[in-house]
Amino acid sequence: MLSAIVDAFKVAELRKKILFTLGILALYRFGAYLPVPGIPFRQFADAFANSGTGVSMTMLDLFTGGALSHFSVFSLGIMPYITASIIMQLMQGVIPAVGRWAKDGETGRRKITQTTRYLTLGLGLINAIGYLLLFQSPAYGVQFSTEVPQWLTSVIVVFTLVAGTGLIMWMGELITQRGIGNGMSLIIFASIVSRVPSSIFSSVTTNSDMGTGIAITVLIVAVVLIAIPLIIFVERAQRRIPVNYAKRMQGRRMMGGQSTYIPFKVNAAGVIPIIFASCLIYFPAQIAALFNVGWLTALSNAISTGWLNWILTLLLIVFFAYFYTSMVFNPEETADNLRKQGGFIPGIRPGTATVAYIRNVLRRVTLPGGIFIALIAVVPSILFYFTNNQLIQAFGGTSILIMIGVALDTMTKVESQLKMHNYEGFFK
């Protein structure tokens, strides 16, 4: 691995992409601690820590890398964009016009991207107003700046938060276009990783006995290190369907007559089901922040922890595993491409029989993959519920799956670049 990293920096084009990505992520982390004008930075951080914030707000703070607990420029994080992306994905199957955009190639993708951006800013505005009303409530007791009128301070705060959301979205798209990996996923990755050191310190010092705290921390880290290879094994696992190509004459040359396979990943959706499920589960917390109503806050806390949260997380992850796999993989298109290229699956008739066979394989492969990542996400949540150890929350199943999934995806993209320049990659 170290040799692959060294080789990556030897290639000028790849080196520029890596340094550009790291620079954008560093800028994002700087914005996570840049206070909103009119907000007392340290006073608000102390009020947030002492306010008895619910589990839902704690998880939202985890996904923003601590920006929410400091009410910084990037307090809204990447969640508005992800929520907007989920809505647009769902609308493709509900609104015919949006469904046509998805099939119109580059022009349709531009329309979907532009609509997602506007929707992101709209959701960001709603969230910004909600957080402003919540943090102005007596539960936090933060006194905003009195040097300017209260209404002007509120306008500045909301405008800054929405602008921060737009800036995060822009930085994510820059990484995707000019850097390495998926920009939005890397921003979430950076947010989660940034909370790990403070969580380790909290795990060690929470217990009255320092030795016990160190022992618990070491045990948690050891379990995580043991689980990582298992997660990577499932992430890389494939179900391969053999494909044969019939011999045919093309001009004066004989073509075809070879065998290959179609790879179906056990977890084809990657970390997307985890991210989508997390956004939906913690979306009520954002609505509760907007209205600041007692029963709505209680409901958001109820579905953010406990048995209801575990069941919803399990079901939503499995659902989104199927949903996203069906969005990115079309059995009809695959079968049609095989037919056009003279390929066929041994023992399966071309046409509708091939479509049905591929669809059944996808269903059977997606189910264990979805259940696996759902269990990885739910089990640490159960342990955190009974132990209240912050390190389990930071190293929870959702966080670990996102970190591993994003890391593998980024390494795969770097490896493809290395092989283009005749270097060996990360995966042997």
pLDDT of 122 > 70? The answer is: yes
Give the model confidence (pLDDT) of 265-275 as tens digits. 888 877 778 77
Owner of token pair 């009303």: 133
pLDDT of 55 > 60? The answer is: no
- DSSP 8-state symbol, 317: H
- For the segment 174-190, the average pLDDT, to the nearest whole number, is 85
Owner of token pair 């403070």: 198
Q: What is the pTM of this model?
A: 0.74
Task: Return all residues near 367 (Cβ < 8 A) that are at least 6 apart.
Answer: 318
Enumerate the CATH 1.10.3370.10 domain ranges in the chain, comma separated: 1-194, 196-395
CATH 1.10.760.10 at 1-194, yes or no: no
Beta strands in 152-286 (DSSP E): 238-245, 248-250, 253-255, 259-265
Provide the mean pLDDT of the chain: 77
What tokens were used for 301?
């806390």
**Residue length, the chain?**
428
CA distances in angstroms from 369 to 232, 280, 405, 412, listed in the order given: 12, 20, 13, 20
Report the distance separating Cα 355 and Cα 334, nearest Å.
Answer: 8
- For the segment 328-345, the average pLDDT, to the nearest whole number, is 79
CA distances in angstroms from 182 to 35, 289, 409, 414, 423, listed in the order given: 27, 30, 8, 12, 22
Least confident stretch, 118-132, 135-149, 165-179, 400-414: 135-149
Report the distance separating Cα 140 and Cα 422, nearest Å.
Answer: 58
Owner of token pair 């159960």: 382
- For the segment 216-241, the average pLDDT, to the nearest whole number, is 80
Identify the top-confidence range among 65-69, 169-173, 302-306, 396-400: 169-173
pLDDT for 268: 80
Report the distance separating Cα 137 and Cα 297, nearest Å.
Answer: 13
Identify the top-confidence range among 182-186, 328-332, 418-422: 182-186
Q: 196-395: which CATH topology?
A: Preprotein translocase SecY subunit (1.10.3370)
Neighbours of 184 (CB within 10 A): 21
CA distances in angstroms from 105 to 27, 102, 108, listed in the order given: 33, 7, 5
